[in-house]
Each structure stands twice: as structure tokens, then as C-alpha cells.
């Protein structure tokens, strides 16, 4: 798994590539902590368009991050391609809790920045 993050006002963006599973989850969790610390305001965009697989541990990281962001009065959006992760959120009814978009530009616009 490769994770990188950058600031794209007014957001901090994490781009994830590779499987989000028990092996990759600790890496993502650590990068999320750094990204949250760098965010002011806390508008977190997590780009999962290059993540082909997510297991329950990876899903747990996303849910824990959403709860943490909400506790800090922030906002979080997932950028998702059609496929496994979007389906996983739907069958677990988590699609009702996560804000999602289909592209980074759509996420930037939703977060308050003109694309």
C-alpha cells in the first residue's frame, strides 16, 4: 500500500493505492493521524479510487477516522470509483454515514473550493 497526503485548500487529501487490509491498515492509520494534525480547518478527503480491495480491518480504519473527524468538528469525504468499496459501504449501510464523491474535483467543490 502506498499512501501520500498533501494540502489542497481548504482540504487535506490522502491518496491511497493498494489493498486496504490488515497489512495496510496500520500504515493508513498513521498517515491519517499526520494528515489530521496538518489540517486546519479539518476537511479530510480520502481518495480510494486506486484501492481494489478493503477488508473489515480497513473498513474499521475508515469508520474510526470518520468518528474522529466528527468528534473534532471536521468533515470527511471519500472519493470512490465504482466497484468493491462502494459496494461494501452499501451492503453494510455505511453509505448513509460517509460523504462520497466520484472525483477529487467533485470533492474539492463539495468542500468549498472551486475546482
CA–CA distances in Å: residue 69 to residues 44, 72, 74, 91, 102: 8, 5, 5, 23, 21
Phi, psi of 102 (to 5 degrees): -100, -10
Within a domain: 114 = no
* Structural domain of 19: 2-109
Within a domain: 115 = no
Please report the pLDDT score of residue 113 as a whole number.
58
Which of 2, 8, 27 has its CA nearest to residue 103?
A: 8
Which residues is 54 bridged to in the sheet?
Answer: 20
pLDDT at 36 over 50: yes
Within a domain: 94 = yes
Within a domain: 26 = yes
Euclidean distance between CA atoms 57 and 23, whole angstroms: 9
Euclidean distance between CA atoms 63 and 61, whole angstroms: 6
Percent of the chain residues topping a pLDDT of 70: 97
pLDDT at 115 over 50: no
pLDDT at 114 over 50: no
CATH number at residue 92: 3.30.750.24
Percent of the chain residues topping a pLDDT of 90: 90
Give the model confidence (pLDDT) of 41-75 as tens digits: 899 999 999 999 999 999 999 999 999 999 999 99
pTM of the model: 0.94
Which residues is 79 bridged to in the sheet?
Answer: 47, 101
C-alpha cell at 88: 461494501
Euclidean distance between CA atoms 68 and 64, whole angstroms: 6
- Residue 39: band (very low, low, confident or very high) from pLDDT cuts 50, 70, 90: confident
Amino acid at each position: 500500500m502506498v499512501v501520500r497526503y498533501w494540502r489542497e485548500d481548504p482540504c487535506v487529501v490522502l491518496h491511497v493505492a493498494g489493498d486496504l487490509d490488515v497489512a495496510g491498515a496500520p500504515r493508513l492509520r498513521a498517515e491519517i493521524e499526520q494528515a489530521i494534525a496538518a489540517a486546519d480547518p479539518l476537511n479530510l478527503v480520502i481518495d480510494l479510487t486506486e484501492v481494489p480491495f478493503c477488508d473489515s480491518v480497513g473498513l474499521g480504519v475508515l469508520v474510526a477516522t470518520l468518528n474522529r473527524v466528527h468528534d473534532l468538528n471536521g468533515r470527511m469525504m471519500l472519493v470512490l470509483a465504482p466497484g468493491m468499496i462502494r459496494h461494501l459501504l452499501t451492503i453494510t449501510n455505511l453509505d448513509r454515514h460517509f460523504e462520497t464523491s466520484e472525483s477529487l474535483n467533485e470533492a474539492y467543490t463539495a468542500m468549498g473550493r472551486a475546482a
